[in-house]
Amino acid sequence: MSASGFGERLREAMGAYGPLCAGIDPHRSLVEQWGLTYDLEGVERFAMTCVEALGGHVAAIKPQSAFFEVFGSRGIALLERVILTARELGSICILDVKRGDIGSTMDAYAHAFLGPDAPAPPDAITVSPYLGYESLRPAIDLAHQEGRGVFVLCLTSNPEGAEVQHALRDGESVAASMASGAARDNAAAAARGELGSVGLVVGATVGDAVDRLGIDLAAVHGPILAPGVGAQGATGEDLRRVFGAALPHVLASSSRSILKAGPAVSAIRDAAQVEANLVAALAN
């Protein structure tokens, strides 16, 4: 078990490098924009250049698993290199893998990414709770045991998400119930004055949905991974309206606006620094 929980380690990294999570998303258009071929060799050059540029220079790095899985076992081997190298260079690594299932299957997913024998464990993973929040229990408990974290999908910015996330049961929205579950799991850390290790994914462009659905993000006492900054255009006003008192716990996620600066390592690094400064300024 880690001597320091994931939430506290992430808070320290955000204090040191700024509240930015830089995505590594080697989709075809970006890889070809760099002048590389869209094959395993091109994706490898793209991904490892990103890690070299960003590792130890941003609070967190977030590779998107799907863009590696598309190349089969060799792509997954490359993803493992990305994770391990990012961690070796001093950045927290959040694997965007959105796993969610029930029972022994969820337990297997948890051990694959968070367990003591995982081949390339990231610091945290994204998880999908839409088989019910408690279906995530194997991942949440194992993450606590191993000093790792999870980010639970709560309010996403895609328009289709509202039909599930905004739905009501006994007067409470599905999204609010996810936030309540995370708050319960973070209660012990909160009592110690620490940031919990169960975070939420809440889009920076969800407008008034947090208030309208009665969600108290500050009460979660966990980190909030916030897509929508950068290329998607969230403003300081958006951040304050969406996150309110929870804003100090927001880790803004940005990919395209950073990666399009490549392929030069220095240009990617500079773009990430500009983005980190922008997010810090917007949050004030």
Query: Looking at the annotation, which residues are catalytic?
Result: 98
Residue 34 exposed, middle or buried by CB count within 10 Å (0-12, 13-18, 19+): middle
The CA dihedral of 71, 260, 85, 221, to the nearest 10 degrees, is -100
Residue 170 exposed, middle or buried by CB count within 10 Å (0-12, 13-18, 19+): exposed
Task: Answer yes or no: are the C-beta atoms of 21 and 60 closer than 8 Å.
Answer: yes
HEC letters along 130-186: CCCHHHHHHHHHHHHHHCCEEEEEEECCCHHHHHHHCCEECCEEHHHHHHHHHHHHC
